[in-house]
Amino acid sequence: MNITLTTQVSATGDLIIPVVQTDTLADQLTDLAPKLGISAEVLQRDFKADAKEVLAVYGPNDQKTYLLGIGADPMEMDWLRAFRKFFFDQKSKLPAQLAIDLTAFAGSVSQGVVLGVRWGGYDLKLYQTDKPEGPIFFSEAGELTIYVTPEQQEAAEKALSQAEAIAQTHRQMLDLMNAPANYKNPQTLADWAVESGGQNGYSVTVLDKAELERQKLGALLSVSRGSDVPPVLIIAEYKPEGIENLQKVGLVAKGVTFDTGGVSIKSSASMHLMKSDMGGAAAVLGTVEVAAKLKLPIHVIGIVPSTENSTDGSSTKPGDVVTAYSGKTIEIIDTDAEGRVILADGLGYMVRNFQPDVLIDLATLTGSVIGALGYHAAGMFTKNNQLAAQLTEAADQTGEQLWRLPLWDVYNEDIKSDVADVKNYSGKPVAGSISAAKFLEVFSEKHVAWAHLDIAGMAFADTEFGSQKNATGFGIRLLIAYLQILLAEKA
């Protein structure tokens, strides 16, 4: 499906008109009524512009106009969700050609609109053999025209370009996250990164098991011991040429392609969802690719330690002590707290080899953060107030929400080990996400601009695409917005 912008509004063809719920809604509907061939009284009675509300009206020559409610005071995520649901629900009924009238809004809303449209065409049925032919609108024959005013055009074109770059990457990340373990392993992520780097002009280095052993990434290797699938460390680096004094941002992510819990095995009830335990990896790999596509003037390094966490006679056992890349020793209390263990090596490798100005890690790390925040925000941990403010601004802008939780040193007691430098699990039924963050803080090596994002409740969610939780691609839009905030502050 092709998307174009135009300032020439046509009177023919099916049309979507988004409507925001404001104090002047009655006047807006009164103005629309004659164009729709319906009385203002009926229109005001039948349509309230609630978020995701749809009213379809047939006009002359069977032209169909959809009024789409966006709700009150919409942000980018509200536009995205409204259009995503509309296009997902209506996709089998839509004609090949369709238009959206955005002439009443700022050009920047095009980004949320386009992301919603693209996401609305996502098909979760990745491996079904009897799928019907896809809807014509989302085929190569599909054409979407977005109407804007001449004054909006420049901002709308910029928003469209960024949305298309994000949407293409986002779709690939959804496919990777939704893929089961027999279709996806650490090498799959590495292969994706290598191909993407070749296509988009950034470098990718993959450390295989032999190299991990040579460089002594003992924490990552310890988690992989129970699997017959070898681990990798993926290093994706985007550095635009010819620009001096680039800010250097290091992104580290958990890439567990399936998590049984190891010897501390999970219950079977939800284990099938553990194919999603590489949500942080999806965010970081996706962010590096989008930054390269957009040619952002910033140096971004993404490091993804990737492994399965399985179990056999060779598995790391509770009570074992392993040595991380940094040289620090870790007492393994719970093998199901493996994400922080592999991140220890990822963080250590980033700090010692790249010395980034900013260090951020993302991981589907703890159920505890879901207990604290539910499925509406990721936990943010940092002692750097400026970094917290920048990430919060990016979260508010994109709607991928964050909530700051404490990193007080009083919680150090939770990771104190009798036999090693630290232990990977407190054993307490409280403050689990905080003790995990305190563990990671050790391996950030006191970096002054480090933040940990626990995205366990956000990377996999209930959506309109399926009856079970499925991938959201959380973090890509957030991190791209954060990088752009950094650039704006430097300018």
CATH of residue 91's domain is 3.40.220.10
CATH of residue 484's domain is 3.40.630.10
Question: Mean of the pLDDT values across residues 21-39?
Answer: 95
Inform me whether the pLDDT recorded for 89 exceeds 90: yes
Pair (335, 463) in one structural domain: yes
Name the binding residues for Mn(2+): 254, 259, 277, 336, 338
How much is the pLDDT for 254? 98
Inform me whether the pLDDT recorded for 138 exceeds 90: yes
Determine the Cα–Cα distance for residues 103 and 56; give it in Å rounded to an integer. Answer: 20
Q: Is residue 166 part of a domain?
A: no
How much is the pLDDT for 278? 98
Q: What is the pLDDT of residues 375-417, one digit of tens each?
A: 999 999 999 999 999 999 999 999 999 999 999 999 999 999 9
Inform me whether the pLDDT recorded for 12 exceeds 80: no
How much is the pLDDT for 270? 86
How much is the pLDDT for 191? 98
How much is the pLDDT for 462? 85
Inform me whether the pLDDT recorded for 60 exceeds 80: no
The proportion of the chain whose per-residue pLDDT surpasses 90, expressed as a percent, equals 94
pLDDT band at 491 (very low <50, low <70, confident <90, very high): confident
Pair (195, 329) in one structural domain: yes
Single out the residue of 147, 144, 139 nearest to residue 115, CA to CA.
144
Determine the Cα–Cα distance for residues 473 and 491; give it in Å rounded to an integer. Answer: 29
Determine the Cα–Cα distance for residues 123 and 132; give it in Å rounded to an integer. Answer: 11
Single out the residue of 122, 97, 362 nearest to residue 251, CA to CA.
362
Pair (118, 216) in one structural domain: no
- Give the Cβ contact number of residue 93 at 10 Å: 11
pLDDT band at 490 (very low <50, low <70, confident <90, very high): confident
Q: What is the pLDDT of residues 269-297, one digit of tens each?
A: 889 999 999 999 999 999 999 999 999 99
Q: What is the pLDDT of residues 157-184, one digit of tens each?
A: 999 999 999 999 999 999 999 999 999 9
Q: What is the pLDDT of residues 232-275, one digit of tens each?
A: 999 999 999 999 999 999 999 999 999 999 999 999 988 999 99
How much is the pLDDT for 467? 82
Pair (256, 384) in one structural domain: yes
Identity of the residue numbered 82: A
Pair (395, 314) in one structural domain: yes
Inform me whether the pLDDT recorded for 484 exceeds 90: yes
Total domains, the chain: 2
Q: What is the pLDDT of residues 177-219, one digit of tens each?
A: 999 999 999 999 999 999 999 999 999 999 999 999 999 999 9
Lowest-confidence region among 11-15, 327-331, 397-401: 11-15
Domain coverage including residue 362: 179-490
Single out the residue of 155, 159, 156 nearest to residue 115, CA to CA.
159
Name the binding residues: 254, 259, 277, 336, 338
Pair (136, 250) in one structural domain: no
Pair (473, 439) in one structural domain: yes
- Active site members: 266, 340
Which long-range contacts does 391-397 make (Cβ < 8 Å, 24+ apart)? 391/360, 391/451, 391/453, 391/478, 391/482, 393/481, 393/485, 394/478, 394/479, 394/481, 394/482, 394/485, 395/478, 396/75, 397/75, 397/76, 397/481
Secondary-structure breakdown of the chain: helix, strand, coil percentages, each rounded to the nearest 5: 40, 20, 40
Identity of the residue numbered 444: S
Q: With residue 315 as reference, give the H or E element that holds it.
A: none
**How many Å separate Cα 17 from the centre of its chain?**
28
pTM, rounded to two decimals: 0.96
- Give the Cβ contact number of residue 460 at 10 Å: 24
Determine the Cα–Cα distance for residues 89 and 96; give it in Å rounded to an integer. Answer: 16
Single out the residue of 483, 325, 300 nearest to residue 393, CA to CA.
483
